[in-house]
Structure 1
Amino acid sequence: MADWSASQYLKFEDERTRPARDLLAQVPLSKALKVYDLGCGPGNSTELLVARYPDAEIVGVDSSPDMLSQARKRLPQCRFIEADLSGWAAPADVDLLYSNATFQWVPDHLAVLKRLLTGLKPGAVLAVQMPDNLDEPSHVWMREVAREEPFVSLLPKNPRDRAILPSVGEYYDALKPHCARLDIWHTFYQHPLDGAEAIVEWVKGTGLRPFIDPLAPTERAAFLRAYTARIAAAYPPRVDGKVLLRFPRLFIVACRKER
Structure 2
Amino acid sequence: MSPPSETDQRWDSATYDDAHSFVYEYGEDVVDLLDPQPGERILDLGCGTGHLTQQISDAGATAVGMDRSAEMVDSARENYPDCEFICADAHEFTVDSPFDAIFSNAALHWMTDQDAVLESVVDALGPGGRFVAELGGHGNIEAIVSATHAELAERGYETPMPWYFPTIGEYATKLESHGFEVQYATLFDRPTDLDGERGLATWMEGFGDSLLASLSADVQQSVIEGVENRLRNEFFTDGSWTADYRRLRIVARLVDD
Contact kept in structure 1, 2:144 and 2:227, CA below 8 Å: no
Q: What are the Cα deviations for residues 162-210 of structure 1, in whole angstroms up to 9, with x where unaligned?
A: 23x333223223334734552111232223344552122123222x221
For the residues of structure 1 that align with 2:218 and 2:56, how far apart are their CA atoms?
42
Contact kept in structure 2, 1:35 and 1:97, CA below 8 Å: yes
AA aligned opposite 1:66: E
Contact kept in structure 1, 2:183 and 2:253, CA below 8 Å: yes
1:31 aligns with 38
1:124 aligns with 129
For the residues of structure 2 that align with 1:112 and 1:18, how far apart are their CA atoms?
24
| Cα displacement (A) at 1:211 | 2.2
Q: What are the Cα deviations for residues 3-41 of structure 1, in whole angstroms up to 9, with x where unaligned?
A: 311122223454212332121111255334322111111
| Cα displacement (A) at 1:258 | 2.3
CA pair 66-138 structure 1, distance change in 2 beyond 3 A: same
Give me the CA root mean square deviation: 2.5
Aligned residue pairs, count = 248
Q: What are the Cα deviations for residues 82-133 of structure 1, in whole angstroms up to 9, with x where unaligned?
A: 1111111344421121111111111221452255236522232111111124
Unpaired runs of at least 5, structure 1: none
1:257 aligns with 255
User: What is the SS of the residue equivalent to 1:255?
Assistant: strand
State yes or no: 1:147 paired with 2:145.
no
For the residues of structure 1 that align with 2:175 and 2:53, how far apart are their CA atoms?
25
* Percent identical residues: 23
For the residues of structure 2 that align with 1:252 and 1:111, how far apart are their CA atoms?
18
Match of 1:58 among 44, 56, 63: 63
CA pair 210-69 structure 1, distance change in 2 beyond 3 A: same
CA pair 138-11 structure 1, distance change in 2 beyond 3 A: farther
2:17 aligns with 10
| Cα displacement (A) at 1:61 | 1.0
Q: Please show how residues 99-178 of structure 1 align to structure 2 within 5 Å.
A: 99-117=104-122, 120-132=125-137, 133-134=139-140, 136-149=142-155, 152=157, 157-163=158-164, 165-176=165-176, 178=179
Contact kept in structure 2, 1:101 and 1:129, CA below 8 Å: yes
